[in-house]
Chains A and B, each alone.
Chain A
Amino acid sequence: MPEIRVTPLGAGQDVGRSCILVSIAGKNVMLDCGMHMGFSDDRRFPDFSYITQSGRLTDFLDCVIISHFHLDHCGALPYFSEMVGYDGPIYMTHPTQAICPILLEDYRKIAVDKKGEANFFTSQMIKDCMKKVVAVHLHQTVQVDDELEIKAYYAGHVLGAAMFQIKVGSESVVYTGDYNMTPDRHLGAAWIDKCRPNLLITESTYATTIRDSKRCRERDFLKKVHETVERGGKVLIPVFALGRAQELCILLETFWERMNLKVPIYFSTGLTEKANHYYKLFITWTNQKIRKTFVQRNMFEFKHIKAFDRAFADNPGPMVVFATPGMLHAGQSLQIFRKWAGNEKNMVIMPGYCVQGTVGHKILSGQRKLEMEGRQVLEVKMQVEYMSFSAHADAKGIMQLVGQAEPESVLLVHGEAKKMEFLKQKIEQEFRVNCYMPANGETVVLPTSPSIPGGISLGLLKREMAQGLLPEAKRPRLLHGTLIMKDSNFRLVSSEQALKELGLAEHQLRFTCRVHLHDTRKEQETAMRVYSHLKSVLKDHCVQHLPDGSVTVESILIQAAAPSEDPATKVLLVSWTYQDEELGSYLTSLLKKGLPQAPS
C-alpha cells in the first residue's frame, strides 16, 4: 500500500527549529533545516542522527527544501551540509538564496563573538553550503529527478518566503512554511491554487488568535518613536540584519517624509546597502503598492536613514538607531543599550521575540536592574517597548488556506499543542478531513490510493460511439473491455483485440445447473413439457425444441435425463454462457418451481 509518512524532527507541537521529514512513494524530502537560538550546545540543531540511522544521508534524502530565510527555518543548514555531511541538492527561492547567507553569517558572528565558539560553522562552510543551493522561481515546476517534482507558491511572511508543493506521481504534499494571508506594508498575501494535495502541512503559530490589524501596531510604533524623539530622547531598535529591519525602515522613512522630521535615523550594521539592494532586486516579490510606486520612487532607497558610526552614539540630542543583534545578545546593540539605558527619556523597542538568557528577554520580562560583568548593576530607566511585527496567518487565515488548497488531510506544525488541538477540531469539523498534529519524533502515516494511468483503444471507443450514445462530461457511463498490461502500460481494449494482441485462444465458459423434477413420464415427454412451459412464459425469447430432444432458449441448453435410482424423478441439465447469465438464473429459478400440471 503506498503511503505518505511525515516525521517532524523540529516544529512538531513547538515553534522551535523547523525540520520535517516527508516520505512520498519512496522519495524522502527534508522540509526546512532550522536552528533553535535558545540553546548554545548541540540542542540548537535538530537531531539528525535519526535520519542517518539508515545509511548515508545523501543516499537517503532526495532533497532539502527551505521555505524562507529565518534562522529557525534555515539556521542548521550549513551544519547539516558541511558538518553532518549532506551533499545533495537544496532548494529555495531566489530571494531566500540571496538573503539566507547574510543572516547565517550574521548569526555566526554573534555566536562566535559571544562565546568564542569553535564548534560552529565557519564563513567558508556557509559559502560552500550556499553553492549547493538550486534557486527556484514561483510557480515553476522543478524536476528534482525523474519522479520527484516541486513547485513554489507565494507565502507573504518575509521577502522570498514560499510554500512548496512536493509531488511524486499522483501523490502530493504541500508545505506552507510560515505564511501570512493578509498583505502588509511591503509584502502581499499568500496564495495557492486548488491543487488538492493528499496532505497540507501548515504552520499554526496563531492557531487560536485572530490578530488585530498590523496597521494598529504600526501606528502604535510610530507614535512611540515620535513621542520619544520629540522630547529629545534616543530610540534604540535592536534588529537582525535583514527582514524586520527593512519593514521598519519603510515605516519610519514614510513617516519622517510625511511629518518632515529632521531627527537622524541610523542603521548600524553596515549591511543596509546589501539588504536594500536585495529588496530592490526582488521587487517583484513585494506587494502591489510597492511595485506600482517603484517607477516614481523605490521604497528601499531611504533618504532619511544613514549609516551609523560608532561615535554617533555619544552625540547629544534625539536619534533613532537600528542596531544588530536583535535580542541584545552582544555587540553593537548591547553596547548602545548600556549607554542609553540610564536615561528615562530614551526608549528601546524590541520588534521581535527574544530567547531566555538574552538582555532582550530580561528587559521584556520587566527586569530593571541588570547584573553586568564584574558584579556591576545596570539600572534600566529607559522605556522598554515590545512590538510584535511577526507576520503569520491567524486562525481565519489558516482556514482560508485549507479551503483554497482543498487537501485530503491536514497536518499542523509550528505551533503550541493546546492551540493546535483547537484548530484541529475546527478543521475536522468544517472541512471533514483528517487533521494530525504529531509531536517531534512522531510519525504520521497516511495511506494513499495510487492512481495508475491507463490508455483506451480507439476501436473500443468507436464501438461505444457506434451505439449512438454521446459521452457526457458529468455523467459516468459503463464501458466493458479487457484491461491488459503490456510493456509496463495499462490499456483497455475490446476482448477480441486483447485475444489477438496476447495471442490467446478464446475459451467458452458455461454455467451449469441441475434441476430435479418429480415426473414419472419419459425424458422426451418431460422435455416437451418444459418446451411448452417456457414457450408460454418467455414470449420475447426464441425457444426451440431440437431434434435430439433438448430445449434451447437463446444460448441456454436444457436436457432432461432420468437418474437410474429413482424412475419417478427427472433431472433437468441446464447450461448457459456468461453473456446470458441473468436469463440463465431466471430460467433455473423458474424451473425449480416445477412445471404446470399437464392436461390429463
Chain B
Amino acid sequence: METWRDLERDLEDMREYYRHGKTKEASWRKSQLKGLLTLLKEKEGDIFKALKQDLGKHHVEAFRDEIGTLTKTVNTALESLKDWMSSKTAKLPRIALQTSAEIVPEPLGLVLIISSWNFPFGLSLEPMIGALAAGNTVVLKPSELAPACASLLANAISTYLDNKAVKVIQGGPSVGEQLLQQRWDKIFFTGSAHVGRIVMSAAVKHLTPVTLELGGKCPAVLDSLSSSWDMKVELMKNIIKEMFGENPKESHSIARIINKQHLLRLKNLLKDPHVDASIVYGGSVDEDNLFIEPTILVDPPLQAAIMTDEVFGPLLPIITLEKIEDSVQFINSRPKALAIYCFTKNKTLQRMMISETSSGSVTFNDTIIQYAADTLPFGGVGESGFGRYHGKFSFDTFSHEKAITRRSFLTDLWFRFPPWNNYKLQLLESAFNYDYLGLVLVILGLKRHRQRSAGI
C-alpha cells in the first residue's frame, strides 16, 4: 500500500524517466511489447488459475476472450509499429509554394489505465498495449473485485516490463480516488457510467483528456428467420443444454457471478412478481456458490429494473413486438448502447438499423466478435462512453497528433503584411480562392475590384 507521498514521488520519477526520452524510441516500445508476449506465453497457466479463482472462468473461455485476443493484439502492434509511428504527409494547395506539412504522432506522457473486473486481463492489457506502442509511461489500476488477477498482473508486469515506466497500483475506491487527484496526460477508464462521471470530473482539474468505455443495455434484434418466437425459445433451451449440460452448475464451462453484492443485485432483479412470472427458463440462484443459472424471461414489465438497468448477468429478457421494425423505436427510446446486435437477412432492416439507431457499434448475425476485429474502432457514444481503441485506434488514443508545417525563406507572399491597401486585398482574395489566373491578372493590373466597406 502506497502512501500519498510515495505515490507522488513515484509518479514524478516516472515523468522524469519519460522526459529522458527512452520510451519514445521504437526499440524500447518493441521490447515492452515483446515482454508482454512472453508474459502471456509463460504465465498462461497462472493467468488461467487466477481467472478461475476470481470468476470461475473456464480456461478455454479465458483463452478465447482474453489471452488469445491479447496475443493477437500484441502481434499486430509489433508488426505495425513502424507504420503507426511514421508521420503522415498532409496535402497542401499549390499556392503554398515550398511548404511541407505533416502530422507526427507523439506520446502523451504519463497515462492512467483503470480497468474492470469482468475481463481483468483483457481490459487491462489491451489499452496498455496501445499506450506502450505509443511511447507512454503507464500506471495501471486493476479492479480490486478480481484480486487474484490484480496481484498476478502486479507481479508479472514488474517481472516482464520496464519497472521505471510501467507500474501496477492495486486497491479499491480510496486508491482510485487518490490516483484521480494526480496529474495525468490521459486517463483510460473501463467501467460503469456512474464512476465514469467521477473520473471525468476529476480529470477536469488538470484538463486531462479521457476515454470512457462504459456499458449500456446492448440489444439483440432477432428477426423471424423462419421460426416464431416460442420456437426460438425452445431452440435456445436446447442449445443451452448442449453447451452447458443438463445441470449447468456442474458444468465447468460457465463462469460464476463475481461476488455476493452483484449476486444479490441480480437476485433482486427477479424479485418483482411480474418479472418472476415472466421467467420461462432457469431462475435458480445458489447464493453460497455465487451461481445463477442461465435464465430466459419473456416480456417482463418494461418499467422493472431488469429493463431499465444494465443486467450484467445471466438473465436474458426477450421483448416481443408486432413488427420487427418497431425495434428501431424501442432502441431509440433508450440511452445509446455500446453495441447493437441484429440477426436478419433482410437488407432493408439492416440499413434501418445502421442509419436510424445510434450505438458504439452494430454487428449483424453475431455477437461479441467485433471485439476481436482490429480494424474496427471499439468504443461507445452517448451514455455508453466516448473515445475508442483496438488496433491502430489504441495507438492513436494514446498519442497526440502534432501538426507540423515547414516553410522556406525563399518565397514569401509579401501581400499578407501591412501596411494594407486594396491591391493587397485583391491579391489575397485570389490567393484564398486558389485563383491562380486571377492572381496573374491582378498583378498585371487587369482585374477590377469589388467595393468594400470602410476600415481598410
A and B co-occur in one complex: no
Chain B residues in the interface with A (C-beta under 8 A): none
Chain A residues in the interface with B (C-beta under 8 A): none
